[in-house]
Amino acid sequence: MLSLPASVRIYLCTVPADMRKSFDGLYTLVQQVFERDPLDGHMFLFLNRRRDRLKILYWDRDGLALWYKRLEAGTFQWPADLGEARGLELDATQLALLLGGIDVHSAQRRKRYARAG
């Protein structure tokens, strides 16, 4: 299981990204899609059109960091029913499931307390 501070938010870009983009290209994509500052300390996920490659851009105390994963077989799964959304927010559990190749649709979340809002 991933251990992230509660202040870190995880954003998934649902627009396929060109995996040739590096720091500056992804930085610009964060600003365009999420209208957020990449230096806020949150994680921004990008998938290619075939969904077999994933990049995560995040601020690591003193600079931007880029994490890259290429699957040798299979694909990463999109969350269900995206509609016209260009991006959505995930929690740490959903990120762990996405990275682990677990079908989020077949997993059922049990009821838990959550603050309103």
Question: Percentage of the chain surpassing pLDDT 70?
Answer: 88
Provide the 10 A C-beta neighbour count for residue 17. Answer: 21
pLDDT in tens, 21-38: 999 999 999 999 999 999
Choose among 70, 51, 65, 55: nearest CA to 11: 55
Residues of the chain with pLDDT under 70: 1-2, 79-84, 104-105, 107, 109, 117
Per-domain residue ranges for the chain? Answer: 10-100
Q: Name the residue type at position 44.
A: F
d(CA 65, CA 58): 5
pLDDT at 81: 60
